[in-house]
Amino acid sequence: MPETTYLDANELLINMGPQHPATHGVLRVKLKLDGERVLGSECVIGYLHRGVEKIAENRTYAQFAPYTDRMDYVAAVTNGMGYVEAVEKLLGVEIPPRAQYTRMVLAELQRLASHLLWLGTHALDLGAMTPVFYTFREREEILKIFEKYCGARLTTHAFRIGGLQYDLYDGFEQECLKFCDYLLPKIDEYEQLLTRNRIWIDRTRGVGVLSAADAVAYGVTGPVLRGSGVKWDIRKAQPYEAYDKIEFEVPVGQHGDTYDRYIVRIQEMRQSVRIIRQCVERLAPGPIFGKVGKVIKPPVGEVYHSIEAPKGELGYFVVSDGSTNPYRVRVRPPSFVNLQALDIMIRGYLVADVVAVIGTLDIVLGEVDR
Amino acid sequence: MPQNSIDILQAHPYILALIKILIVLLVLSGIVAYLVYMERKVLSFMQARLGPMRVGPWGLLQPVADGIKLLLKEDIIPAGADKFIFLLAPTISVMTAFTVFAVIPFAGNFYISDINVGLLFILGVSSLGIYGIILGGWSSNSHYPLLGAMRSAAQLVSYEVAAGMALVGVLLLSNSLSMVEIVNRQQQMGVWNVFLQPVAFVIYLIAGLAETNRNPFDLPEAESELTAGFHTEYSGFRFALYFLAEYTNMVVVSCIAVTMFLGGWLRPFASVRALDFLRFAPVASLAGAAAFILWLGLKSLLPLERYFFVALAITCVLLAGAVAIPAVLNAIQGIFWFSLKVLVFLYAFIWYRGTFPRYRYDQLMAVGWRWMIPTALGNLIVTAVVRYFVSARA
């Protein structure tokens, strides 16, 4: 904590977390305060460290996949997708279009679920207690689709290396389209509650400002980066699966404040609905598995593959020594990198804003600590 | 016998007053208990959930269960606390909250007392309520309660100024501080004060929210932030007292708003003869309640619950019949309209809680001092000037 106080006597060191309702898990933040103003902060992480990367070295490629679900546990589908794709890249297999579009539909549904959860808890942190019940109601519908598809709601392990284990169940397409039609008016409803709400604007506009230069310097990605006005979305920049065949826009903010990040995420939800609709249209019958052997033994080499997870760039760096187990798996989690920007985002703001900024960063501690 | 008892009452006027006080106190405690139930239910229905459902049919006995739970809990006094003040503080809050009802006219024929400085009395007594909060927070000898108490006190004091000034606007119109007189004056003018003083009404409403620490001004109890409020160290019955005081204050604010701005016990458009059929509103609302309860009961799958609701519906029908007797109907007109208006206010309080985010502390103070107080002052000056010229012409 580098900065000194305006008046040394007023300096107050307080501890927030790890058991604090607004830190979204077991995050501990040491705050240095001048009255109620934040002079500096230090994040203490590791309360949820499970050594996931080390575990990978003692598991086969296929065995490690379920562990990825447990990092960002509110976006298990995209987490698994990133890993599975990285290994596929290492193997050099092509996966059939039906599997690709299925993955995209589920991944976008997961993005919606993650953003819905974020919206509810973020609003709750700022004292609006109603949105959280609405967003959980909608999220439930998504989880039901997951459950029908793969039997799990939270830690789905939805994909396999090379494709899908299960084909889609009958009526999946209709259910997805029905959900899209159901969700759009609900998003309008959330906006009615918050977007032009005077108090919401007062609490979020100009709070936790992150300039585009700072955002890039800190390696921040995802909606936080786009809220600062940098148009960077892996789905557009380095398209994976079949995102290059799909039409959608990348919403960006201007000021890089909490309000802009809120708007960006809300817009992203609308775009996700758009993507789901297009993907469902292209779901033609066909094979769901690429040419992958029973035993996965990639050639010696290394690969870095990143996808656009709901929270930002999720990257997997996988090194193969030619055996059945990965030599090393390194995860680049969006939450961990985004959390680094917390300090510069809250400096100079009030204690009540810390809660708002932690909420707007949309971190999941399972992913930060791994 | 009746003649005899009336004689006794006339010889000892304080007996009647005591009976009235007892009625008000008991009824009010019950209302406050069920206000909590109403809050939980209304909020739940706004949030796509059911709320309390387990204790009694539709959770109707929840307040009783809560009360018993709080009474039986251990009463903890922190080691470093100033014991005497710690024990005293909650009672100050409750007493001041209930004392206000002494001068609130529930109906033209039912109030405990009508003193000629009624409004001044209310403002004075409710200001004393701050002592309950400050002393409670201070005597706990703990950081967070102290911070919470300071915040509460700062909030209450600054919004009280705005509320007081808004009420003065009404005083200029009614030429009296007596609550009964203020309502009578609205009857004479044939128009409620809210139409003459809309700005003051809005200011009072917002200040009322802030004074009762309700969302969006519920900072002293903001769970997601630093302080859990002045009553952090309180437990059991003393906590219940603070709780009671808080909800009583909600009723107080609603009662004052109704009396000052919404014509107290008068029915809507009291001077319009064509709307005289509104006299039968109590009968209609009881019948409506009966129909609703019956519908709920018939929908219920539990036989016991079904019987209970049917019985309740029959009681409502009988009550509606009793109320339809002209003498009774006339007698309860005032109290019915007054309660109805207060209920609308209380509903609005809950509604706001379901709608708004919370203000930040500095924003709250900024709203109070930069907007509310200047606006209230401006409203006061304009009212005074207009009033002067109107009366000069007349």
Task: Please indicate, yes or no, if residue B291 is contained in any of the structural domains.
Answer: no
Q: How many CB atoms lie within 10 A of CB A3?
A: 12
Cis previous bond, B374, omega within 30? no
Residues B133 and B246 in one domain: yes
> Does the CB of A29 have a partner CB in chain B at under 8 Å?
no
Domain that holds residue A36: 8-369
Q: Does residue B104 contact residue B111 with C-beta atoms inside 8 Å?
A: yes
Q: Are A324 and A60 in contact (CB under 8 A)?
A: yes
Residue A6 has pLDDT above 60, yes or no: no
Residues B89 and B163 in one domain: yes
Average pLDDT score, chain A = 86
- Is residue B277, in this structure, part of any structural domain at all? no
Minimal-distance CA residue of chain A relative to B216: A127
- Between A302 and B4, the more confident residue is A302
Mean of the pLDDT values across residues A336-349?
88
* Cross-chain residue pair A130–B47, CB shorter than 8 Å: yes
Q: What percent of chain A has pLDDT over 70?
A: 96
Q: Which of A14, A21, A197 sits opposite B223 (nearest CB)?
A: A21
Q: Is A2 domain-assigned? A: no
Name, in order, each residue with C-beta under 8 angstroms of A205's C-beta and a sequence gap of 6 or more: A255, A257, A258, A259
Residue B332 covered by a domain: no
Residue B145 shares a structural domain with residue B113: yes
> Do B104 and B57 reside in the same domain of the chain?
no
Interface test with A, best of B146, B209, B356 (most A CBs within 10 A): B356
Which residue type does A182 have? Answer: Y
The number of domains in chain B is 2
Rounded CA separation A333/A71 (Å) = 9
Residue of A nearest to B357 (CA): A128
- Name beta bridge partners: B246: none
Mind giving me the DSSP string for B54-112?
A: SSSGGGTTHHHHHHHHHHHS-----TTS-HHHHHHHHHHHHHHHHHGGGG--SBTTB-S
B357/A137 CB distance under 8 A = no
Same domain, B14 and B105: no
Q: In this complex, is the C-beta atom of A203 within 8 Å of any C-beta atom belonging to chain B? A: yes
Q: How far apart are the first and last CA of chain A?
A: 25
Kindly state whether residues B83 and B56 are assigned to the same domain: no
B81 and B52 within one domain: no
Residue contact B356–A127, C-beta within 8 A: yes
> With the C-alpha atoms ordered A83, A87, A89, A93, is the resulting torsion angle positive or negative?
negative
pLDDT tens-digit readout, B188-223: 887 888 888 888 899 998 888 888 877 777 776 665
All residues of chain A having their beta carbon less than 8 Å from the beta carbon of residue B355 are: 128, 130, 193
A/B interface, count of CB pairs below 8 Å: 70
Backbone phi, psi, residue A348, to 5°: 90, -10
The answer as to whether A3 is a domain residue is no
Rounded to 10°, the helix A61-69/A76-91 angle is 160
The whole domain housing B29 covers 1-62
Write the Ramachandran bin of B205: left for phi over 0, alpha for psi from -120 to 50, otherwise beta.
Answer: alpha
Segment A266-294 shows an average pLDDT of: 87
Nearest by CB to residue A127, choosing from B48, B215, B226, is B215
Q: Which of B34, B62, B90 is the last residue of a domain?
A: B62
Q: Examine residue A302 and state whether it is found in any structural domain, yes or no.
A: yes
Residues B39, B186 within the same domain = no
Report how far residue B22's alpha carbon sits from residue B205's, in angstroms, rounded to the nearest whole number.
29
- In chain A, the residue whose alpha carbon lies closest to the alpha carbon of B214 is A127
> What whole-number percentage of chain B has pLDDT above 70?
96
Average pLDDT over residues A77-87: 90
In this model, does residue A2 exceed pLDDT 50? no
Least CB–CB distance from A199: residue in B43, B216, B353: B216
Task: Tell whether B240 and B381 lie within a shared domain.
Answer: yes
To 10 degrees, what angle do helices B179-189 and B143-174 make? 40
Confidence of residue A5 (pLDDT cuts 50, 70, 90): very low
CA distance B67 to B73: 10
Instruction: Compute CA distances A336 → A298, A312, A368, B384, whole Å.
Output: 29, 10, 4, 62
Domain stops at, among B43, B62, B81: B62
Given an 8 Å threshold on Cβ–Cβ distance, is B47 in contact with A36? no
Shared-domain flag, residues B103 and B45? no
Partner-chain residue, chosen from A124, A193, A351, that has the shortest CB–CB distance to B225: A351
The pLDDT of residue B164 is: 87
SS3 of residue A16 by DSSP = strand
Q: Which amino acid is at A10?
A: N
At B29, list the tokens: 């405690």
Q: Is residue A356 part of a domain?
A: yes
List of residues 6+ apart from B16 with CB closer than 8 A: B9
Domain-embedded: residue A140:
yes
Query: How far is the C-alpha of B95 from the C-alpha of B112, rounded, in Å?
Result: 16
Tell me whether residue B12 is in a domain.
Answer: yes
End residue of a domain, out of B62, B84, B99: B62
Give chain B positions within 8 Å (CB) of A199. 216, 356-359
| Residues B380 and B258 occupy one common structural domain | yes
Neighbour order of strands in the sheet with A28-34: A11-16, A28-34, A37-44
* Count of the separate structural domains present in chain A: 1
A126 CB near a chain B CB, below 8 Å?
A: yes
CATH number of the CATH domain containing A221 = 1.10.645.10
In a domain, A361, yes or no: yes
Beta pairing, strands A159-160 & A326-332: unpaired
How close does chain B come to A5, measured CA to CA in Å?
A: 20
Tell me, yes or no, whether A283 lies in a domain.
yes
Claim to verify: residue B58 and residue B77 sit in the same structural domain = no
How far apart CA B367 and CA B163 sit, in angstroms, is: 13
Answer whether B361 sits within 8 Å of A197, measured CB to CB. Answer: no
Of A129, A136, A186, which to mutate for an interface test with B (greatest number of B Cβ within 10 Å)?
A129
CB B66 within 8 A of CB B75: no
Asked if A261 has any chain B CB less than 8 Å from its own CB, the reply is: no
